[in-house]
Amino acid sequence: MTVFNFSAGPAVLPREVLEQAAAEMLDWHGSGMSVMEMSHRGKEFISIYEQAERDLRELLAVPANYKILFMQGGALAENAIVPMNLVGHKAQPATVDFIDTGSWSAKSIKEAKKYANVNVAASAAHTKYNAIPERHTWQLSKDAAYVHICSNETIDGVEYHYVPDVAADTNGAPLVADMSSNILSRVIDVSKYGVIYAGAQKNIGPAGVTIVIVRDDLIGQALPVCPSAFDWKLVADNNSMYNTPPTYGIYIAGLVFQWLKRQGGVAAIELRNIAKADLLYDYLDSSSLYVSRIARECRSRMNVPFFLRDESLNDAFLAGAKDRGLLQLKGHKSVGGMRASIYNAMPIEGVRALVDYLKEFEKQHA
């Protein structure tokens, strides 16, 4: 049976990548070693690392005045690492602005409060996070060290389809984005951001790698309490090898970057992601059994939460899906209902199979 895995993360990886990794598991390119067994300072691993960095830079057109760091701790650790690195040059405690659009921005806020005064400039909590607060409602601080957004709320299913402008929307403060669940899914202009960070396990590779893309002038402002291994300056000066990086995860991420280049790059995958999301949302909108509760203009292309109007059918729905090889569709416990995550590695065939099943189940329960 063909299986389609709709997990929100760790999530589906391209089959070709897993096959290549399997083929190279015991002996990478005639080196006689598995990538897991290589010194991170040896020429073999350095070549893997440099290729991954180059490919990611090319895929996202990362300008030369930005560093790409391969770190550890996931996006949740980076929620602390970001304020620790960005407020050291300010009078303490510094102020930082947040836009609260869902579970993940709420977690970012909680963590930043340990290192700074947090001003929640806007929050969608009162509408159960079904939309992004409009820009003109944001109550920004005068001198924030940065403005933080979560570009795609993995749990709630809302996504920014524009980039806040530093002059007009953030009062001149650098824009920081948690892009864990939509990085590489759409074309972005990196120069509009001060910092982009992302845990790998949604669109990049296995859990354990965190990508940080940071503008040069924002490096070197860490608080004295910042652990050395998390100080962007030390990490950047040592090409992400201040301490041992997550070598195997970086290798798999590198294979995913090569796969993405073979797909035609980010612009090509974005078109496919739009087609996949449209297919699913169009059916949900036409249905009387299912409903999407997210405002149309900020629906996520990556994570699609939806509900059965009759929630007593949830278990039957999930059991039938599993029988058809449609896996991990249960919604996050904080939201309930269902969630289909349709990251880059989910082929359109998977979304078609899901929509076919949605139709069939709807017919049975009309």
Q: Could you list the active site residues? A: 104, 178, 202
Taking the C-alpha atoms of residue 223 and residue 319, their distance in angstroms, rounded to an integer, is 50
Number of residues that bind ligand PLP (CB under 6 A): 13
Position among 14, 74, 194, 206 found at the interface with ligand PLP (CB under 6 A): 74
Residue 178 in marked binding region: yes
Position among 4, 104, 230, 307 found at the interface with ligand PLP (CB under 6 A): 104
The edge-to-edge listing of strands for the beta sheet with 195-199 is 66-71, 210-215, 195-199, 175-178, 147-150, 95-100, 117-123
Q: How much is the CA Rg of the chain, to the nearest whole Å?
A: 21
Position among 7, 85, 95, 154 found at the interface with ligand PLP (CB under 6 A): 154
Residue 116's contacts (CB-CB under 8 Å, 6 or more residues apart) are 83, 87, 93, 94, 95, 96, 145
Q: Do 138 and 144 form a contact (C-beta atoms < 8 A)?
A: no
CB of 361 to ligand PLP, least distance (A): 28
| 150 touches ligand PLP (CB under 6 A) | yes
CB of 80 to ligand PLP, least distance (A): 11
Residue with Cβ nearer ligand PLP (179 or 308): 179
Taking the C-alpha atoms of residue 289 and residue 312, their distance in angstroms, rounded to an integer, is 12
Residue 201 in marked binding region: yes
| 247 touches ligand PLP (CB under 6 A) | no
| 273 touches ligand PLP (CB under 6 A) | no
Torsion (CA) 17, 18, 22, 25 in degrees, nearest 10: 70
Position among 5, 6, 9, 343 found at the interface with ligand PLP (CB under 6 A): 9
Taking the C-alpha atoms of residue 228 and residue 264, their distance in angstroms, rounded to an integer, is 38
Stretch in the footprint of ligand PLP (CB under 6 A) among 124-132, 177-185, 213-221, 245-253:
177-185
CB of 76 to ligand PLP, least distance (A): 3
Around 142, how many Cα atoms within 13 Å sit in the side-chain half-sphere?
0
| 300 touches ligand PLP (CB under 6 A) | no
- Neighbouring C-beta atoms of residue 339, cutoff 10 Å: 24
Around 279, how many Cα atoms within 13 Å sit in the side-chain half-sphere?
21
Stretch in the footprint of ligand PLP (CB under 6 A) among 69-77, 225-233, 326-334, 354-362:
69-77
Q: Is 20 exposed, middle or buried (0-12, 13-18, 19+ CB in 10 A)?
A: middle
Tell me the β-bridge partners of 339. Answer: 305
| 100 touches ligand PLP (CB under 6 A) | no
Mark residues 196-225: x for contact with ligand PLP by CB under 6 A, - for none: ---x--x----x------------------
| 350 touches ligand PLP (CB under 6 A) | no
Taking the C-alpha atoms of residue 288 and residue 283, their distance in angstroms, rounded to an integer, is 10
Residue 41 in marked binding region: yes
Bind-site residues: 41, 104, 154, 178, 201, 243-244
Interface with ligand PLP (CB under 6 A) = 9, 74-76, 104, 150, 154, 178, 180-181, 199, 202, 207
Bind-site residues for L-glutamate: 41
